[in-house]
Amino acid sequence: MSRNARRKEATKQAVLAELEKLRQGRHARYQTLIGRFVRCPELIRASALFAAAVDASARSYNRTPVDAPPGWLPPIR
């Protein structure tokens, strides 16, 4: 087997392994908090309902929003 053929075979196996991880949901991008959130429709709906409730509460009581304590939220870029 030539060097080029071995390299192609190794690349093919790596791509197939990554595709299998994607199929099973074990890919690195899905292991982060955001990755899991994006894949879960229940979490998306729950967060949308929570955001709407907070917004409605702020409007009904005519209050100004409270800033989060320092260090609780990531910096805004």
Eight-state DSSP code of residue 33: H
Q: Which residue has the tokens 């990531």?
A: 74
List the structure tokens of 61: 């009581």
Are 30 and 39 in contact by the 8 Å Cβ rule? The answer is yes
Eight-state DSSP code of residue 36: H
The set of residues, in sequence order, having a beta carbon less than 8 Å from that of 9 and lying 6+ positions away, is 1
Residue 76: per-residue pLDDT: 67
Average pLDDT over residues 49-77: 77
pLDDT per position as a tens digit, 5-46: 888 888 988 888 888 887 777 766 666 777 777 778 888 889
Q: Residue 4 and residue 71: Cα distance in Å, rounded?
A: 52
